[in-house]
Chains A and B, each alone.
Chain A
């Protein structure tokens, strides 16, 4: 029995590699995308604001599952054929970027306007003010909601099965159909929980590091 569990875990872990890869790519690109779009969204120029509004509306307003299908199968119609991983990564980055845009926009708007005035009185330019004064405070303030998104992302990676990619859940299901036991699902759940613990732990570390100035 013990050996069985070990074997199954090892097999499911092969799916875990994919999950982690997709996870890393999404985090690395979605956060800067979110910050950039948040900056555009608070711009005083309408022509910069509305495309971002349309973007967040569309990608928060449709299921991620649908977006995955679109990027993998849908783009073919337009003559663009992406590798499954590329399609998945694109869908995840754009989807999470949309949520993070709103997180960071709210974060930017929560910064006291005295901070802008102080920077202005010191003759910092707007880009300098955002980069050096506002964004660092926003990143700190938005750690809890960003952590929420990061946890959601672990579970959302399971959606990639629809475009034929293997992840933790798919590996578990393969064993389930072979052996007809729920053990692989229990193991999969444990792996998800472990990943979540790691993420929560990491965010806690980052929050503590920032705590010094509170």
Chain B
């Protein structure tokens, strides 16, 4: 893994919301084809960290590099200006899936997938449809392509959201608690799609509350607490030989439930 190119690199990233210190000098990197799971208690800054990686949140301090190029660089309150077109090219390498799907309700499943490739990448409708249909087949929703989001289940919605992100042909996929808004019996289908992406060697960062999922799919697990990364290890190491008391307490509490 260590010889592969670094896809995302965060160096001493900090984030304040007002006086609230959400991220406290966080550093990590993700290599090509690697699946990174971020776990930790609510409010520990997991989602914020993820959102900093695609520019949905600005960083207050620190550096984020995407495939070796500076994506965000703020030092002592001074942001280095990244040229717009350069920023756009980097941002396009990243796809994101949200906890609440955020599908476009006025567009059908197929239209959700072809929208951005058409208007952002200038793809013609015909090729966009061919591409979208093959992605929808992959996530098992080809037969629902003409449904509106309101007419399909939560698990299907999340699979559409994944298809929509894949439509932009990203190098990296970010997942912000992709199964947290789903009924337990619907999480499996979403997990399976993510697993199939992992076996296709998609680089992924997944914020999750599902420990079994993190253990099964991730190559590495990061644990965040109060805006800091306090654990970073291979899942076997992380779950079996955990020696950090705070993390052990967290895992213990979850398994007691």
Contact = CB atoms under 8 A, between A and B. Distances in A.
Contacts of B195: none
Contacts of A137: 105-106
Contacts of B116: 122-124
B108 to A, nearest CB: 8
A112 B106 CA distance: 13
A121 B106 contact: no
A117 B115 contact: no
B148 interface: yes
Nearest to A210: B106
Contact of B120 (A115, A117, A122, A214): A122
B104 A121 contact: no
Interface residues of A, number: 20
A122 B106 contact: no
B103 A132 contact: no
Interface in B195-229: none
B105 A132 contact: no
Interface residues of B, number: 28
Interface string A112-132: 101101101111100010001
Contacts of A212: 148
A40 to B, nearest CB: 23
A213 B106 contact: yes
Contacts of A165: none
A-side binding surface: helix, strand, loop or mixed? Answer: helix
Contact of B115 (A120, A122, A210, A213): A122
A122 B148 CA distance: 19
Contact of A122 (B55, B100, B149, B168): B168
Contacts of B54: 121
B63 interface: no
A123 B104 contact: no
A147 to B, nearest CB: 19
Contact of A112 (B102, B115, B119, B165): B102
Given A117-B56, A123-B92, A213-B106, 8 more contacts: A114-B102, A117-B98, A118-B104, A118-B164, A122-B120, A124-B119, A128-B119, A128-B120
Interface of B: 54-56, 88, 91-92, 94-96, 98, 100, 102-107, 115-116, 119-120, 148-150, 161, 164-165, 168
Interface of A: 112, 114-115, 117-118, 120-124, 128, 132-133, 136-137, 140, 210, 212-214
